[in-house]
Structure 1
Amino acid sequence: MATRSSNGGTTFSVLGPDISVKGNIETRTDLHVNGSVEGDIACSALIQGETSTIDGGIEAKSARLAGRVTGSIKVGELVILKSARIDGDVSYDTLTIEQGAQVEGRLSARGEATAARPSRPAAVADQPQGEPNLALAG
């Protein structure tokens, strides 16, 4: 099911809870997944329902995940809700994780976010800028 904007363009597509897809999905629009997908997803924005399962990689500008994902995730703005269960490596620009969400895999900021930061010594790198820094010598 797709909704059309007033100018005739598709604004988002929906895979209902009774739909199961085997194969990759690629779209330039937003995608709402409430069913199951066995394949990779590439879209502008992804919204995943709580009962949804995705067995494949995800690549999007933004994603709001609430169901089960098995595969790598590469997203600009990522929100992982408390009902989400993720098994795979996650690469992001911004990340929000609700208490109770489960992630099995590596979390890493994408190169764009880390390249913008000035280089600082490792002992200081974890401290917010403007906060007092403490380095212990052994």
Structure 2
Amino acid sequence: MSSTVPENQPEVAIVGERARVRGSFRSEGTLIVEGEFDGSIQCPRLVVLEGGKVDGFVEVRDAEIWGVIGGFARIFKMVCRRTARVVGCVMVQSAALEPGVTLEGAIVFEKPEGDGDEKEESREREPRFFKEESPSGN
């Protein structure tokens, strides 16, 4: 029996609550961590559920943290829920922290790159590996 997934359906990978994963993960979809992940993660969206733990190098566009994130992370937009615990250094462009978040490290806000032009300064910059190609193919 084969399953077909529509092309426009984003991929979702799940590290189950009893799983302990060590290594490198790279995807064009979402990673949901219920268990433990130790290593590097590069994907557009990361969700660390309550009880989940990520430790290592993380580079994602959007992250929603209910559990623990540690190590070094570069996140474009991060939301930390009340049960979240941030350990280590997280570089962000935008962050929201609910009351109750535990911070045992640093959250560093990156200024978007630009030459001082107001339009350039307000432009949001995504992590390096998310490079969108221009419609002309350049």
Same fold (TM over 0.5): yes
Question: Secondary structure at 1:71's aligned position in 2?
Answer: strand
Query: 1:4/1:94 Cα in 2 relative to 1: closer, same or farther (>3 Å)?
Result: farther
Number of residues of Structure 1 aligned to a counterpart in Structure 2? 115
Q: Does the 8 Å contact 1:90/1:106 carry over to 2?
A: yes
Shift in Å at residue 96 of structure 1?
A: 0.3
1: CA distance, partners of 2:62 / 2:5? 20
Q: 1:79 to 1:4 in 2, by over 3 A?
A: farther
Partner of 2:13: 13
Shift of 1:12: 1.3
Deviation for aligned residue 1:16: 1.1
Q: Which structure shows the bigger proportion of residues in strand conformation?
A: 2
Say which is worse superposed, 10-19 or 46-55, in terms of deviation: 10-19
Unmatched tracts of structure 2, length 5 or more: 123-138
Residue of structure 1 equivalent to 2:58:
58
Identity %, equivalent residues: 23
**Is the contact between residue 93 and residue 113 of structure 1 (CA under 8 Å) also seen in structure 2?**
no
TM value normalised by structure 1: 0.74
Q: Which amino acid aligns with 2:74?
A: K
**What residue number does 1:97 align with?**
97
RMSD of the alignment, in Å? 2.3
2:18 aligned with 1:39:
no
**Residue 135 of structure 1: aligned partner:** none
Check whether the contact 1:5–1:11 (CA below 8 A) recurs between aligned residues.
Answer: no
Segments of 4+ in structure 1 off by > 3 A? Answer: none
Rg larger in structure: 1
Tell me the distance in 2 between the aligned counterparts of 1:47 and 1:21: 15
Normalising by structure 2, what TM-score?
0.74
Structure 1: gaps of 5 or more residues: 118-138
